[in-house]
């Protein structure tokens, strides 16, 4: 159902159009002049506008449309008039009108046109949403790094971005695919965006969308409809036809993240898309063609999944033609510190803080950490430190990396079991820092459960609460508890 604003000074026509739109399930508010319509729009949200050109009180429907657009209205606007001409149509379109109907109007045409324009707006919103989500992910990470391993990865990605899309798929040619491999958190989505942007710079695409699909985030019952779209009546809730993400991607890029977790029955349809460049919507018979660049990614061993029978061998061989393996952060010499420095600059702006820097101890902690969660782990730790650190210089205790590098001034001893040694050379080994770090780790271990953390530490809950307040850890507790 959409909220439609109808402006028409002929009472009979106004009643007929309103009735037809209401029978189609819409909520229609009617006016005969623009003054009342302006007041309505100022206090009520509207999804679409249908207006005559010449209205009561000598008001102008096209001027009304122009004013709406200048105020940021992005819904469909349709103009009706008995004085239609090519010149008027062109002028109206330039002012932001979506379509034009000549009187006497056919009611069925009105309802069909409004339905089509509303669906187009919904599609634009979906594209914008997917691009916004993908850019938000890209803003979290960027193509940072100067290590030899990372430079080789980017060089390969740039070459793969130049792969041409065949004019005709299915006659001995298939759509080129890129398979990105790597551990969790290495930045597979970031590299997919880099390939997409390199393809745009190379002229292969121009301002086309990158549609990021997380195959594990979509329910198995909906993933086929989401990818390929559906026709009206294809299932119980399919009240209108809907385009899928392959169609939305157009001549751009579709990124199938976590492809290794895609349901087996859907893999056959993905194989058809890759080999023949075509698909059918759910409940449809018409074949649609695919022109999008296909990038897939996974952190699982697809060959092992093929042996287990949970991943199709033919699809694996198709996807495995062009592969990029992203090295884990621990193998990218010096990149962890480079990323940390760049991220702190960004986080300082984001959180409205003065310039954030790393102390020598914090830099050593970052350089010496194994980063099992890779770049994602590094960014999460920096975000928390940027929020909770008291000073503009981030210390090792602010990072809370003791579990791997053992913490502020703490060095794991390989000799006597249970022995803890302290590195006083770091200058961060005060009793307060050690106590704070101990509490941080206990809270992390219990996911923000203060009662469990107090039992681990052997202190009263009220005593731990006092220290949480004293060390400014309340935000961290809430963040951990929400995960």
How is the chain split into domains, by residue range? 3-120, 141-327, 333-482
Residues pairing with 105 in the sheet: none
Give pLDDT tens digits for 20-38.
999 988 999 999 888 888 8
Average pLDDT score over residue span 299-305? 93
pLDDT surpasses 60 at 417: no
pTM value is 0.59
Residue with tokens 């307060």: 432
pLDDT surpasses 70 at 70: yes
Q: How confident is the model at residue 403 (pLDDT cuts 50, 70, 90)?
A: very low
The confidence score (pLDDT) of residue 60 equals: 84
> Looking at 199-208, 237-246, 251-260, which range is the least confident one?
199-208
Structure tokens at 227: 């990818």
Protein fold of 141-327: Rossmann fold (3.40.50)
Average pLDDT score over residue span 234-241? 78
Quote the CA–CA distance of 33 and 52 in Å, as a whole number.
10
The confidence score (pLDDT) of residue 418 equals: 43
Average pLDDT score over residue span 229-255? 85
Asked whether this chain's domains 141-327 and 333-482 adopt the same fold, the reply is no
Q: List CB contacts of 22: < 8 A, sequence separation 6 or more.
A: 28
Average pLDDT score over residue span 234-248? 82
Report the mean per-residue pLDDT for the chain: 83
Quote the CA–CA distance of 260 and 306 in Å, as a whole number.
10
Q: How confident is the model at residue 152 (pLDDT cuts 50, 70, 90)?
A: very high
pLDDT surpasses 80 at 125: no
Residue 213 phi, psi dihedral angles, 5° rounding: -115, 120
Give pLDDT tens digits for 426-449.
555 677 777 888 888 888 888 888
Protein fold of 333-482: Helicase, Ruva Protein; domain 3 (1.10.8)
With the CA atoms of 227, 231, 236 and 239 taken in that order, what torsion angle do they form, in degrees rounded to the nearest 10?
Answer: 110
The confidence score (pLDDT) of residue 413 equals: 42
The confidence score (pLDDT) of residue 416 equals: 44
CA R_g for the chain: 29
Query: Is the separation of the CB atoms in 85 and 107 below 8 Å?
Result: no
Task: Report the run of H or E that residue 68 belongs to, with start and end.
Answer: helix 61-70
The confidence score (pLDDT) of residue 318 equals: 92
The confidence score (pLDDT) of residue 328 equals: 94
CATH class of the 3-120 domain in this structure: alpha beta
Top mean pLDDT of 51-55, 101-105, 189-193 is at 189-193
Angle between helix 431-445 and 461-470 (nearest 10): 120
């Amino acid at each position: 159902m959409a909220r439609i604003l109808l402006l028409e000074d002929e009472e009979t026509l106004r009643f007929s159009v309103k009735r037809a739109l209401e029978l189609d399930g819409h909520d229609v508010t009617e006016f005969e002049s623009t003054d009342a319509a302006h007041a309505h729009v100022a206090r009520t949200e509207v999804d679409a506008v249908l207006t005559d050109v010449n209205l009561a009180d000598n008001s102008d429907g096209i001027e009304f449309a122009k004013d709406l657009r200048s105020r940021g209205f992005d819904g469909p606007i349709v103009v009706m008039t008995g004085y239609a001409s090519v010149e008027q149509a062109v002028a109206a379109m330039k002012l932001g009108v979506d379509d034009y109907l000549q009187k006497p109007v056919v009611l069925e045409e009105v309802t069909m046109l409004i339905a089509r324009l509303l669906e187009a707006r919904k599609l634009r919103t979906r594209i914008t949403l997917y691009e916004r989500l993908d850019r938000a992910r890209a803003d979290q990470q960027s193509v940072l790094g100067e290590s030899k391993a990372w430079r080789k990865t980017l060089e390969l990605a740039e070459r793969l971005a130049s792969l041409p899309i065949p004019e005709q798929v299915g006659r001995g040619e298939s759509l080129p695919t890129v398979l990105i491999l790597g551990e969790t958190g290495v930045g597979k989505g970031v590299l997919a965006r880099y390939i997409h942007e390199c393809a745009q710079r190379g002229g292969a695409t121009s301002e086309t969308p990158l549609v990021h699909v997380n195959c594990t985030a979509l329910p198995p019952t909906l993933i086929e409809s989401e990818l390929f779209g559906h026709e009206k009546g294809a299932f119980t809730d399919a009240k209108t036809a809907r385009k899928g993400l392959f169609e939305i991607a157009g001549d751009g890029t579709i990124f199938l993240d976590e492809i290794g977790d895609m349901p087996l029955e859907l893999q056959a349809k993905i194989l058809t898309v890759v080999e023949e460049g075509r698909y059918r919507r759910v409940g449809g018979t018409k074949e649609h063609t695919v022109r999008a660049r296909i990038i897939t990614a996974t952190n699982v061993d697809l060959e092992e999944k093929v042996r287990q029978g949970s991943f199709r061998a033919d699809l694996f061989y198709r996807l495995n033609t062009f592969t990029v393996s992203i090295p884990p952060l621990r193998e990218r010499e010096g990149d962890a510190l480079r990323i940390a420095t760049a991220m702190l600059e960004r986080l300082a702006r984001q959180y409205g803080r003065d310039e954030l820097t790393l102390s020598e101890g914090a830099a050593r902690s970052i350089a010496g950490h194994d980063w099992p969660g890779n770049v994602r782990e590094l960014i999460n730790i920096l975000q928390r430190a940027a929020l909770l650190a008291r000073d503009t210089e981030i210390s090792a205790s602010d990072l809370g990396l003791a579990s791997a590098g053992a913490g502020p001034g703490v060095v794991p001893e390989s000799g006597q079991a249970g022995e803890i040694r302290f590195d006083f050379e770091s200058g961060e080994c005060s009793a307060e820092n050690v106590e704070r770090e101990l509490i941080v780790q206990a809270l992390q271990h219990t996911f923000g459960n203060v009662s469990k953390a107090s039992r681990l530490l052997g202190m009263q809950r009220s005593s731990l609460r006092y220290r949480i307040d004293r060390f400014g850890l309340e935000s961290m507790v809430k963040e951990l508890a929400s995960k």
